[in-house]
Amino acid sequence: MSENRKFEAGIGSDFSKDPVRIVFITKKTSAKVRGVLRDQVMSYPHVVLREIIAFELLTIVLVLMALFWDAPLEQLANPLLTPNPAKAPWYFLGLQELLHYFPPIVAGVLIPVLIIIGLVAIPYFDLNVKGEPLWNARRTPRLRIFCGIVLIFLMFFGVYKAWSIFVTTAIIAALAVAGYFVPAGRGSAIEYLRSRSLPWWLMTWFIIMACILTIIGTFFRGPGWSWVWPWR
């Protein structure tokens, strides 16, 4: 990190950061050409052809599904008759599931707004551009902060009896913390987890959470938003 900072003052020479390819060559060294051209291919026909293939495959799948799977149409809208349960579109069912646990202001406003802000803000936090594993440095203080924050979250979920969220969060946090205790170079799966960065853990938690809530909201909620088993 400190090495990179030196160069950042001037004109970027790191192409991963600055797309403007102006290369400054110092007097004492000659240009290093690393055969970048070899890695390049023409978009036409390579990309174009692959895109056409992608489009064809997509169309094939869509047309076949459209032939055999009819879009549902229920009865005429009737403002006097609420179906039980009244469900939002599936991609909002995670949110609706949250509304079941938390007060509307939290689940309906705070959490979605925080998610959007979080997503927008991701690239502007220059904390860990290199994707450094979570437990690579300052291990013990990081563990303390990590566990503290996780516990606060777990308490919050516990207070609202959001057990599905509680359990998922606890498992993911446990997996993250497991990397702290596992020495490097063990089995490949554990090594994989150990080498994950904090942003990776956060995003993974978010995705798994969203999937689980959406699945619960879609399949496991019946009349009165009560728990039902979809196979019954």
Partner 1 sequence: MSASLQSTLKGFCNNRVWRSIFRRAPARTNRTRSIAIFGNLFLHALPVKVREKSLRVRATYYLGSFSFFLFVVLTLTGIMLMFYYHPAAPKAYNDMKDLRFVVSEGIFLRNLHRLAAQAMVLAVFWHMFHVFYRGGYKPPHEFNWVIGVVLLLLTLFLSYTGYLLPWDQLAFWAITVGTNIISYIPILGKPTRFLLLGGHEIGENALLRFFVLHCVILPLAMIVLIALHFWRIQKDGGLTIRESDERK
Partner 2 sequence: MAAEDMGKISDRVRLVFTISSVIFLIVLAVAPLRNLFSEWKYYKREYFRMADGRPDTKKLLADFHPGIDQIWQPNLNVTDRCVTCHQGINQPSLTDATIPQPFRAHPIIPHRATEWGCTVCHRGQGFATEVKEAHQTTLAWEQPILPVRYIQGTCGVCHRTDIPEAPRLARGRAVIEDLSCIGCHKLQGIERPLMLGPDLTNIKNKTSREWIFKWLKDPRTLTDGNGNISVNGYENEDEPRMPRFRLNDTERAALSAFLIDRKSNLIEPYKFDSRVTAAWEKKPDLVDQGETRFRQMFCSTCHSLAVVRGGETQLIGGDIGPELTKVGSKVKPDWLVSWLQNPQAYLPQGLMPRYGWSDEDLYKVNHYVMDRLTDPDLLKDVRIPEQAQANDIQSGNRLFQQKGCGSCHVIAGMKAQKDFGPDLSAEGAKSVSELDFGAAKMPRNLIPYLESKIADPVSVNPNARMPQYHFKEGDLGSVVTAALSMRGTQTTPGIHALVIADARPEYQAAGDFGKAYERYKCYVCHRFNGYGGTLAPDLSYEGSRARQPWITEFLKNPQTLRPTLTFRMPQFNVTDEEARVLANYLALVMQTNRVDLTAHHPEFTSDQASAGKQLYEVTYQCQSCHTIGSAGGYVGPNLINAGNWLNTAWIQEWLTDPQALVPDTIEPHRAFTAEEKSALTAYLVTLKQSGTVKASVPSGGSR
Q: Which two tokens stand for residue 168?
A: 């998922």
Q: Does 33 bind partner 2 (CB under 8 A)?
A: no
Q: Does 22 bind partner 2 (CB under 8 A)?
A: no
220 CB contacts (<8 Å, ≥6 apart)?
Answer: 227, 228, 229, 230
Q: Does 188 bind partner 1 (CB under 8 A)?
A: no
Contact pick of 4, 13, 84, 226 for partner 2 (by CB under 8 A):
84
CA–CA separation, 189 vs 194, rounded Å?
A: 9
How many other β-carbons are positioned within 10 Å of the β-carbon of residue 165? 23
Residue 18 binds which entry of partner 1, partner 2, none, CB below 5-8 Å type-dependent: partner 1
The letter for the amino acid at 51 is E
DSSP single-letter state for residue 69: S
DSSP single-letter state for residue 132: -
CA dihedral over 137, 139, 141, 143, signed as positive or negative: positive
Q: Does residue 45 have a cis bond before it (omega within 30 degrees)?
A: yes
Contact pick of 11, 49, 113, 171 for partner 2 (by CB under 8 A):
49
Q: 100 burial class (0-12, 13-18, 19+ CB within 10 angstroms)?
A: middle
Contact pick of 13, 45, 148, 155 for partner 1 (by CB under 8 A):
45
Contact pick of 11, 13, 17, 45 for partner 2 (by CB under 8 A):
45
Q: Does 95 bind partner 1 (CB under 8 A)?
A: yes
Q: Does 232 bind partner 2 (CB under 8 A)?
A: no
Q: What is the contact surface with partner 1 in residues (CB under 8 A)?
A: 15-19, 39-48, 50-51, 54-55, 58-59, 62-63, 65-67, 69-79, 81-83, 86-92, 95-96, 99, 104-105, 108-109, 116, 119-120, 122-124, 126, 129, 131, 199-200, 203, 207
Q: What is the contact surface with partner 2 in residues (CB under 8 A)?
A: 38, 40-42, 44-46, 49-50, 52-53, 56-57, 59-60, 63-64, 66-67, 72-75, 78, 81, 83-84
